[in-house]
Structures are given as structure tokens and as C-alpha cells.
Amino acid sequence: MKWGRTDLGRGNLVKFLVVTVAIFAVFGYYITPLSLSIKQGLDLQGGTHIVLQAVDTPEAKVDEDAVQRVMQIIERRINELGLTEPIVQRQGERRIIVELPGINEPEKAIELIGKTALLEFQDESGKTVLTGKDLKDAKAQIDQNRNLVAIEFSDEGGKKFADLTSKNVGKTISILLDKQVLTSPVVQEVITGGKAVITGNRSIDEAQRLAILLRSGSLPVKVDIMETRSVGPTLGQDAKDKSVVAFSIGIGAVVLFMLLFYRLSGFIANTALLVYVLLVMLSMKMLNATLTLPGIAGIILSIGMAVDANVLIFERFKEEYRNGKTLRAAMDAGFDRAFATILDSNLTTLIAAAVLFFLGTGTVKGFAVTLGLGIIISMFTAITVNRFLLKMIMRSGVFKDGKIFGA
């Protein structure tokens, strides 16, 4: 049996309807659970904002290394809480900003991050023989292609360590930080002189991290709480509600504009926009990204660029159609002519997003991530999904007047 042009046209129309309905159905089914599964930042779900400052003490002066150790301790303790996207960042030479999304009890957070780290060396029976105050230094080293951690004790600590190793040759000793075992080396021989190395199959990064953790337990840098601010759900929810309203109005205006000016082409562009929103949400979920208010701004801006790409394509299409080309030829020419302009426009914005990501901090990075993702995905939906749907509807032969496509 041979298929006539009418049958092929009907087949393309059916395909177009099936694909369009499928896009609407998938969007309606997945958009809510997908959006709810994306992690939210401090500005959307509330939490605790703490400003710490390292200060000099008679025992130890604050320097670059001391601040780095404090940040290591705080990050490790926060990670133990299992928080989503906590922020620990440095401000100036001595200040550290800590933001804890979802933590609404600042006192508990301060108690957790502010307590002094406790470093312990225990024998096999679990008896603590040395503490962090006995440790003078710890450094990562490479010796005969092995990554080692060299440790040095104070005079008193060296004596204690010699006594510990003499009683535990062939046994393991455990090094704990805040009651958590960092490593459990086996004592090969009695170690005197206050210096020792910790061997093991570690990468140089792991050795450096262990050295930092060991040093962090040995330097009692005083940290003062300069500011504690609880970002309550009222502020976060209020801002989020306003963002949702702004987002809904913006999307509604865009959808209406596309339908009024480009009719069936506008409907297809709006359908492609649903694919765009789904892909942006899915990408953020897969990247484990955190959504913040600036991030929402980045998404809205990229939606504007996605619509702008469609407008460029449809305007070129109208020009070609009015110059006498057929609908399909005019649409192909419209995509071809608009592609270079769309690519240039999006590429420059993508470069700006990359600069913001690598040079920015905190929420600025969130804005850059959503903007960059949005640009890449908007190009994909505008050039592929949009074109695919338009070709199917034109091949159906049902709509032959350019006016239905806004021409």
C-alpha cells in the first residue's frame, strides 16, 4: 500500500499533536516535584548567618595559616551536620563568614563551630597519651615516591611520644580529632627525638589534608563571634513569594506576546519554553545546585534570552516569506540566518557568566550558574525543539497561509 501526500501530511499532524501533548503532560507531571527537590539557599529557606573573627592571643598570633586551620575545622564540623550547601568563606584577613541554611537555632550552631578542636593520640587500649598541645607541627612530604605526613612534637610531647611508642611497638596508635579517628598507624619502632612520619597509601592531597587537620588541633586560635543573624522564614518566604509572582507575571506576558505576534509559531515557541524550563530544573537537580534569589534572577534573564532567540528566528522567517519563498523554505532560511546572531549574542553572555562564576563569590556564583545553564539550554530548545515542531506542522500541509505563523 502506498502512502499519498495526504496520508503523510495527516501522519505529521498526528505526530505533532502527540509530541505537543506529551510535552505538556511531562511538564505538568514533573515540574512540581522537580522544583521542590532542588536545594534552596539561605535567602529562600532561612537559616543562620554568623561572622567570626580570629584574634591574637599571647600563645599564638593570627596569621594566614591559622585562619586556614580555623576554616578547615569549621567546615569539617558543619559537614558533620549534613547541611545542604553551607557557606564558609573568608572576609578580609581575619574574618570568616558562615551561613547555615535550615539552622534556625544560632546558639547550637555557635556551640558546634566555636568549640576548641581536641586532638588526641591514643594507645591500643584507648588511653589518651598526647593531645594537640603536645604537637608542634605537621607537614605533608614526598619521600621515595611515598606521600608522608611528618609530625613534630614539643619537648614534653616528644618524651610522651617516645614513651607511647616504646610501649606499643607492633601495635596501632590512633590519632583522633574531636573523637573521630583520623588515622591509626602501626608503630614500627621506638621513636625518640620528637619527630615521626605517618605512612600509608595516601595521595599528596590526602596527606596535605591530614597535615592540616593535625595542625588544626594543635593551634588554639581564639575566635570571637562578631555577628549572629537569624534569617527567618518570614524574610525568605516573603522574598520567594514575590519572586514567584514576578516570575509568573513575566512568563505570562511572554506567552501572551508570542501568541499575539507569532500565533502558531508563538504557540510552538511557548511549547519549546516548557522543555527549556524542565531541562533547566533537571540540570540543576543533577548538578546538585542550590537555588537562591540571584539564581532565580539568572533563570528569568535566560528565559528572556530564549524568547529573544525565537523572535530573531521568526522575524527572519517573516522577511523570507514576504520575499516570496514558501513556508518551509522561509522557515529554514529564518533559522539559518538567525543562528549566527543567536550564537554571538549567547556566547558573549556566556563569557560574562563564566567570569562571574570564577571571580564571584556566594550568590553571585549562583546567578552565574543558572544564567550559564539557561543560555546553553535556551540555544538547544530554540534551534532544535522549536525547529523540530515547526517542521512537523509545516509538513502536515494543514496550515498553508503564512498569517497563521505570524508572517
Pick the CATH number of 47-230 from 3.30.1360.200, 3.40.50.300, 3.20.20.70, 3.30.70.370: 3.30.1360.200
Q: Tens digits of per-residue pLDDT, 308-350? A: 888 888 888 888 888 888 888 888 888 888 888 888 888 888 8
Nearest-angstrom CA–CA distance, 153 and 136: 5
Q: Is the pLDDT of residue 220 over 60?
A: no
Which residues make beta-bridge pairs with 176? 120, 181
Q: How far is the C-alpha of 164 from the C-alpha of 185, rounded, in Å?
A: 13
Fold assignment, 5-41+232-405: Multidrug efflux transporter AcrB transmembrane fold (1.20.1640)
pLDDT at 25 over 90: yes
Mean model confidence pLDDT for the chain = 79
* Chain centre to alpha carbon of residue 405: 40
User: In the prediction, which pLDDT does 3 show?
Assistant: 45
Give the least confident one: 49-58, 80-89, 376-385. 80-89
pLDDT at residue 22, as a whole number: 92
Position 240 scores a pLDDT of: 66
Which pLDDT value is given to residue 217? 58
**What amino acid is encoded at 345 in this protein?**
S
Contact, 125 vs 147, CB < 8 A?
no
- Exposure string over 292-313, b if 16+ CB within 10 A, otherwise e: bbbbbbbbbbbbebbbbbbbbb
Check residue 90 and give left, alpha or beta (phi > 0: left; psi -120 to 50: alpha).
beta
The answer to whether residues 239 and 40 touch, using CB atoms and an 8 Å cutoff, is no
Within 57-174, residue ranges assigned H as helices are 64-80, 106-114, 155-166
* Cα→Cα distances 301→106, 313, 327, 358, Å: 35, 19, 31, 20
Please determine, for residue 1, whether its predicted confidence score (pLDDT) is greater than 50: no
Other beta carbons less than 10 A from residue 363's beta carbon: 19
What is the C-alpha to C-alpha distance for residues 381 and 178, in angstroms, rounded to an integer?
51
Distance in angstroms (rounded) separating the CA atoms of residues 329 and 321: 8
Of residues 353 and 73, more confidently modeled: 353
Are 5-41+232-405 and 47-230 the same fold in CATH? Answer: no
Could you give the angle at which helices 363-380 and 327-359 cross, rounded to 10 degrees? Answer: 160
For the segment 142-146, the average pLDDT, to the nearest whole number, is 80
- Give residue 4's pLDDT: 52
Residues ≥6 apart with Cβ < 8 Å to 6? 397
Query: Higher-confidence residue: 59 or 303?
Result: 303
**pLDDT score of 34:** 85
Tens digits of per-residue pLDDT, 188-211?
888 888 888 877 767 787 777 777
Give me the percent of the chain exceeding a pLDDT of 70: 82
Domain ranges of the chain: 5-41+232-405, 47-230
* Nearest residue to 272 via CA among 152, 382, 127: 382
pLDDT digits (tens, 9 = 90+) for 372-385: 888 888 888 888 88
Cβ-in-10-Å burial (0-12, 13-18, 19+) of 372 comes to buried
Distances in whole angstroms, Cα of residue 189 to Cα of each of 37, 149, 186: 54, 17, 9
Inter-residue contact 43 to 239 (CB < 8 Å): yes
SS (H, E, C) 285-333: HHCCCEECHHHHHHHHHHHHHHHHHHHHHHHHHHHHHHCCCCHHHHHHH
- Whole-number Å distance between alpha carbons of 106 and 215: 27
CB 149 within 8 A of CB 201: no
Greatest mean pLDDT range, 81-85, 123-127, 135-139:
123-127
pLDDT of the residue at 236? 56
pLDDT in tens, 150-201: 888 888 888 888 888 888 888 888 888 667 777 788 888 888 888 888 777 6
Residue 374 · residue 299 · CB < 8 Å:
yes
Residue 242, C-beta contacts closer than 8 angstroms, at least 6 positions apart: none
